[in-house]
Structure 1
Amino acid sequence: MGFDSFLAFPLEVLPFIVLVLLIQFTVHEFAHAYAAYKFGDDTAYREGRVSLNPMVHLDIFGFILILLAGFGWAKPVPVRASRFKNPRAMSVIVSLVGPLSNLLLGIISIFIYALLIKTELIFAGSAGVTSAIEVFFNYMIHFSFLLFVFNLIPLPPLDGYRIVAEFLPLQTRYKLEQNAHWGTIIFLLLVFIEPLRRYTIGPVLTFGSDLSHLIFNWVLTLFY
């Protein structure tokens, strides 16, 4: 049994997966930290999280898990909403900018990739270089939209849960917070148990993939 049999991705594309996920996780967590800092909470800033250095956002176990199981996480950004002038509204924004940063990365990647194809710069190098560029952008676009949609699922510990929670009455929100650990357990079961994932999170992830193809095809029409 080879080493690649333990991985969620083919061994030959693993360097691209690692690079793409480092970019995606770093920008996502930086967006949270920067927004919180600009709104008056310097907790993440004091911990060095308002940075594009991947190492300050990397959770080793979460990163290894995504390579082995196809699911993982970065180090969560600490946020003290009580320091915001408008805690509920600003908390929503701080939570939302993470997924939006992934969406923005996806859109930028699509435009760059389409421009490379249009100008034929992608074919300027050797076949190996062309293949590497194609693989990188395919995964970059795929994970951008996947993480955008995935993080908006309203289950803890995802951003979607934090966003929805801010719109709930305080008493309801308090009860949810008391039982958030059950939501996390349910979420993990949905992710790791194949029959459950196929009919719950699976369609959401499929939507993310379909969305990336839709936008990519639309952008291509702008270049041709």
Structure 2
Amino acid sequence: MIELNTIQLLVILAPPLLLAITLHEVAHGWVALRCGDTTAQSQGRLSLNPLRHIDPIGTVLVPAVMAVIGGFIFGWAKPVPVSYNRLRQPKRDMALVALAGPASNLLMALGWALAAVIGHGLQTALPWLGQPLMAMGVAGVNVNAMLGVLNLVPIPPLDGSRVLAGMLPDRVGQTMAQIEPYGLIILVLLLSSGVLNLMPVVSSVSHLILSLFF
């Protein structure tokens, strides 16, 4: 793999990260629409335009800093609005809506792995295209593995908490709702302290996906 300076690293990471966050949110809204809730659609959040989903701090600043200093890439977008009461079967459907986000990241990781293979094949004939494409493909796999694994952690407001609430008694969902205002703070503390170390899982997922293509 070619060595990248900071600017090159950010250029390589930007398309996979923006696409990962955008399609993750669109997936939530699309499944909600299939389940009867038109809220996201009516607010224009089923758009593939990243500007409709970007949070300046969570989507741009935080991931950029994390990418430069190394380690776990952590970030977030503006959540797609979902109206619980508009879903046909609210408890089940909310779990499906939540699961759609990480599922979209898995599919994107597979797509980026394919891009990496194509880039690898072009390295000799067209190195100016093949090398950046391979680097971007590998970055896309890693970014989506990170976002997918992170969002499956059962800490509100992450998707994993909503999936878990959909499978367990209602009192679990009520408890998670009480925790949610503090969930992001709890998550940051767990990640920064090393108590929650997701890197081994992320590395395993990335390696597995890449091994399917290489």
TM-score bracket, normalised by the shorter chain, equals 0.7 to 0.9
Per the alignment, residue 64 of structure 2 pairs with 67
The aligned runs of 1:206-221 (5 Å cut-off) are 206-220=200-214
Deviations 1:163-212 (CA, angstroms, capped at 9, x unpaired): 11222322332233123223332112123x2xx22x41x2x232122221
Letter of the structure 1 residue corresponding to residue 64 of structure 2:
L
Per the alignment, residue 121 of structure 1 pairs with 122
> 2: CA distance between counterparts of 1:179 and 1:136?
37
What is the aligned counterpart of 2:52 among 34, 47, 56? 56
2:14 matches 1:18: yes
1:162 Cα deviation (Å)? 1.1
Gap runs ≥5 in structure 2: 67-72
Q: Is the 8 A contact 1:20 1:139 kept in 2?
A: yes
Gap runs ≥5 in structure 1: 1-8
| Shift in alpha-carbon separation, 1:213–1:175, aligned structure 2, 3 A | closer
SS in 1 for 2:161: helix
Letter of the structure 2 residue corresponding to residue 75 of structure 1:
K
Letter of the structure 1 residue corresponding to residue 209 of structure 2:
I
Deviations 1:83-113 (CA, angstroms, capped at 9, x unpaired): 1111111111110010000100111222343
Larger Rg, first or second structure (1 or 2)? 1
Per the alignment, residue 6 of structure 1 pairs with none
Count of matched residue pairs: 203
1:154 Cα deviation (Å)? 0.6
The two structures have a TM-score, normalised by structure 2, of 0.87
> 2: CA distance between counterparts of 1:58 and 1:86?
30
> 2: CA distance between counterparts of 1:114 and 1:130?
9
Letter of the structure 2 residue corresponding to residue 181 of structure 1:
P
Q: Is the 8 A contact 1:149 1:205 kept in 2?
A: no
Identity over aligned residues, as a percent?
A: 33
How well do the aligned residues superpose, as a CA RMSD in angstroms? 1.8
Q: Is the 8 A contact 2:118 2:130 kept in 1?
A: no
The two structures have a TM-score, normalised by structure 1, of 0.83
> 2: CA distance between counterparts of 1:150 and 1:32?
16
Per the alignment, residue 172 of structure 2 pairs with 172
